[in-house]
């Protein structure tokens, strides 16, 4: 693509971590101009400072800081917001209104704004005031209950922040893009109340809908997708590494049985009476060879077998390399390093190293100039310390 799909869209993002920071990362990957908005150094304790490499190290983004408790700082932010397309914030419910930068405040200066509030439980409801993180949202949404338990019987700690990323960040991106499409045809602004817990519920809809329709109680081992049958499980290979087996379709299951020399189980894929025997035979045969030997033979043979990769194996995987999944970045203090690039469908790719900013650097003067503030106004705000 010669033009990025969100070229010309300006996003102001208050988040330092979490779902909102994920959302702005992906919006930037689609070509939006993203300006990270933070507190002036005197109020730096307000935000978490993540490691320099997180969220793509803010490649392709700008940064500015405001003292929003000072009238001049708040007014300067509203001048910037007047020319923005999207604002993303992740304060606790009610905070932006108290600061004078909430949806109604911005709407007064920008009648076409798309304003996205991200939180754990939403802006209203009995849990709106609860503090939380990814694990909490996965817990209340049923995700942890339906995942195979750890050795002591308790819910596992997931290996990825599914609520922050998929349930929160991607939900925010979807909602923002939908609001921008509507604005394009109707000129209407939009307020978006993105709750990570709601997103987890959306991800768990198969289980929740089954319960609502049938009174079933889904959980680990309830159905084929949660480990009820041997054909959908993980197995240890001879070298101690693991294989993921996900043969749902009968023909793929038959291919696997034949490849493992276990034809006696061809007609028993979902036979409840013999699942322990099938699982034991699968485990026995998989332990006879190393993981990568099995992958080389089985993965191309319509058996739905894949390696359980460690992160070092992920970044060395030839499939990701072939799809240009990783890019190089250049940091003024930490030098050059690799990172996950714009991998989502339709994002632009670049072969040149991406310059990434230092955490202490800002683009305040350039950002304010683009918002139409005069040199004298910019100089005054910077000198007063209400903008940095």
Which residues are the active-site residues? 133, 164
Nearest to 148 by CA among 233, 212, 217: 233
DSSP one-letter code for 353: P
Reduce the DSSP state of residue 327 to 3 states and report it. Answer: strand
Distance of alpha carbon 235 from alpha carbon 238, whole angstroms: 10
| Phi-psi group of 139: left, alpha or beta (phi > 0 → left; psi -120 to 50 → alpha; rest → beta) | alpha
Distance of alpha carbon 73 from alpha carbon 61, whole angstroms: 21
Identify the H or E element spanning 354.
Answer: strand 354-355
Cβ-contact 387, 76 below 8 angstroms: yes
Q: For the sheet containing 242-246, what is the strand order?
A: 232-236, 242-246, 305-307
The DSSP-derived string for 113-170 is -EEEEEESS-SSSTTTT----HHHHHHHTTTTTTSPP-TTSSPPPPSS-HIIIIIIII
Distances in whole angstroms, Cα of residue 289 to Cα of each of 247, 257, 300, 304: 20, 16, 17, 18
The DSSP-derived string for 213-272 is HH-----TTSSGGGTSSTTEEEEE-TTS-EEEEE--SHHHHHHHHHHTT-GGGTT-TT-G
* Residues ≥6 apart with Cβ < 8 Å to 204: 141, 142, 143, 146
The DSSP-derived string for 28-93 is HHTT-EEEEEEE-GGGGGGS----TTGGGGGTTEEEEEE-TTSHHHHHHHHHHHTT-SEEEE-SPT
Distance of alpha carbon 170 from alpha carbon 77, whole angstroms: 26
Angle at the Cα of 161 from the Cα atoms of 159 and 165, rounded to 5 degrees: 140
């Amino acid at each position: 693509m010669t033009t990025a799909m969100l070229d010309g869209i300006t996003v102001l993002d208050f988040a330092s971590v979490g779902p909102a920071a994920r959302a702005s990362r992906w919006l930037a990957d689609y070509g939006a101009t993203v300006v990270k908005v933070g507190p002036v150094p005197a109020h730096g304790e307000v935000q978490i400072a993540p490691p320099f490499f997180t969220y793509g190290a803010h490649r392709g983004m700008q940064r500015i800081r405001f003292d929003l408790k000072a009238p001049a700082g708040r007014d300067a932010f509203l001048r910037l917001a007047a020319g923005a397309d999207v604002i993303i914030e992740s304060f606790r419910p009610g905070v932006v209104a108290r600061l004078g930068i909430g949806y109604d405040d911005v709407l007064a200066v920008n009648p076409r704004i798309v304003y996205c509030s991200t939180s754990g439980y939403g802006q209203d409801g009995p849990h709106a005031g609860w503090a939380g993180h990814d694990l909490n949202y996965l817990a209340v949404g049923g995700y942890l209950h339906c995942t195979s338990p750890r050795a002591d019987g308790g819910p596992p700690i997931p290996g990825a922040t599914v609520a922050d990323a998929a349930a929160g960040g991607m939900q925010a991106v979807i909602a923002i893009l939908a609001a921008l499409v509507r604005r394009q045809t109707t000129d209407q602004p939009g307020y978006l109340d993105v709750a990570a817990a709601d997103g987890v519920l959306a991800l768990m809809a198969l289980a929740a809908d089954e319960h609502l329709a049938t009174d079933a109680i889904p959980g680990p081992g309830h159905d084929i997708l949660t480990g009820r049958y041997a054909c959908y499980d993980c197995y240890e290979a001879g070298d101690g590494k693991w294989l993921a087996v996900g043969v749902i379709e009968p023909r793929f299951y038959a291919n696997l049985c034949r490849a493992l020399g276990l034809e006696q189980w061809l007609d028993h894929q979902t036979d409840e009476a013999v699942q322990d025997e099938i699982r034991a035979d699968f485990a026995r045969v998989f332990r006879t060879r190393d993981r990568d030997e099995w992958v080389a033979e089985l993965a191309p043979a319509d058996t739905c077998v894949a390696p359980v990769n460690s992160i070092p194996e992920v970044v060395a995987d030839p499939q990701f390399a072939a799809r240009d999944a990783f890019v190089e970045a250049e940091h003024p203090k930490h030098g050059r390093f690799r990172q996950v690039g714009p991998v989502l469908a339709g994002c632009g790719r670049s072969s040149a190293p991406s310059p990434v900013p230092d955490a202490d650097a800002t683009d305040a003067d350039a950002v304010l100039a683009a918002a139409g503030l005069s040199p004298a106004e910019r100089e005054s705000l910077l000198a007063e310390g209400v903008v940095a």
